[in-house]
Structure 1
Amino acid sequence: MPEETRLQPVDEADLQNKTLEALAPYRDQDGRIYAIWGTLAHHEDALRRFLVFGNHVLGKNTLPLKSRELMIVRIAARAQAAYEWDQHVRIARRAGLSDVEIMAAATGSWNELDQLDQVLLAATDSLIDGQRVDDELWRRMASTLSTQQIIDVLYTVGQYLTIATVINTLGVQPEGDLVLDLPRAEVATRKDPQA
């Protein structure tokens, strides 16, 4: 990731009213638009369309909330996307996940997590590494998840890899200090041999 922000967020005063309306739910506790969305507002039409898809993945996803957040922190750790990591550690904590569970998912040491989360994290890694799952993992997914949930796995990984790519390419910086240290890349990519 670049050390400096390559593209500054758009000033709210320069945004169209329809973009401001679309971004209404995407503000921090002080009422500021989150930096990721302000940065993507350089292409307002695309941002508004992307928010519709993102709203499904984040708000209407058929996967359990805790499981989805474990997948997202895994993606953020693997991609070394500090902004995404910080935002989703906060969401994961609000969802009831402990820092131990978050770090287990992030570092690939998920043997103590439940079977559903192990399948979802294995699928996450497989999709990151090869953009597919093999037959054995497919059977595990199909025996554990509904068809809609399998599609939401694909959407979740795709959405958050896209966001990680944006963060790391445009240099979107965390909004303050990280609430939990991001594992180093070599730790995050280590896979548990029993997973």
Structure 2
Amino acid sequence: MPEKARIRPVDEADLQEKTLASLAPYRDQDGRIYTIWATLAHHEDALRRFLVFGNHVLGKNTLPLKSRELMILRIAARAQAGYEWDQHVRIARSAGLADETILAAATGTWDGLGEFDQVLLGATDSLLDRQSVDDELWCRLEAHLRVEQIIDVLYTVGQYLTIATVINTLGVQVDGEAALPLPQPVDQKEAAA
């Protein structure tokens, strides 16, 4: 990821009223538009459309909040998307997840997690690696989830992989101090040794 932003966030004063209305729920505790959305506001029409889908994935998803956040944290860690990681560590903590659980999801040390979350994280990895799941994992998903929820698994991974790609390519930077350091990826060859 670039060390500095490749595209600076758009100043709020330069945004159309309809874009400002769409971004009303996407402000931090100080009332500022989140950096990711202010950056994507360079293409206001696309941003407004993307927020509709993002609102489903983040706000109306049929997956339990804590489980969804573990999936997003896994994606952020694997993609090394620091901004995404930081934002969702904060959301996960607000949802009641301990740092130990957050780091377990990020690093792939899932033994202490329940079977439901292990299945979701396994599906997340499979979707990131192969853009699909095999028959065995599909059966495990069906054993734990309704079809609607399986579709939300797919949407969640797709949405947050897209966001990670945007963050890493445009160089969206963490605002201030990181809530929790982003775990560095483990080289699979070193892990096997």
* TM-score category of the 2 structures, normalised to the smaller one: over 0.9
Per the alignment, residue 19 of structure 2 pairs with: 19
* 1:156 partner amino acid: T
Per the alignment, residue 68 of structure 1 pairs with: 68
| Identity value in percent | 75
Name the CA distance, whole Å, in 2 between partners of 1:186 and 1:176: 26
Total equivalences in the alignment: 191
Per the alignment, residue 175 of structure 1 pairs with: 175
Give unmatched runs, 5+ long, in structure 2.
none
Tell me how far 1:44 sits from its aligned partner: 0.3
- 1:102 matched to 2:106? The reply is no
Name the CA distance, whole Å, in 2 between partners of 1:148 and 1:96: 25
What are the within-5 Å matches in structure 2 for residues 145-184 of structure 1? Answer: 145-184=145-184
* 2:27 partner amino acid: R
Q: How far does the alpha carbon of each residue in 1:118-177 deviate from its partner, in whole angstroms, 9 at most, with x for none?
A: 000000000000000000000000111000000000000000000000000000000111
Tell me how far 1:180 sits from its aligned partner: 0.6
Per the alignment, residue 36 of structure 1 pairs with: 36
Name the CA distance, whole Å, in 2 between partners of 1:186 and 1:114: 23
SS of match in other structure, 2:66 = helix
Give unmatched runs, 5+ long, in structure 1.
none
Name the CA distance, whole Å, in 1 between partners of 2:50 and 2:183: 28
TM-score, L = length of structure 2: 0.96
* 1:39 partner amino acid: T
TM-score, L = length of structure 1: 0.95
Q: How far does the alpha carbon of each residue in 1:22-78 deviate from its partner, in whole angstroms, 9 at most, with x for none?
A: 000000011100000000000000000000000000000000000000000000000
Per the alignment, residue 48 of structure 2 pairs with: 48
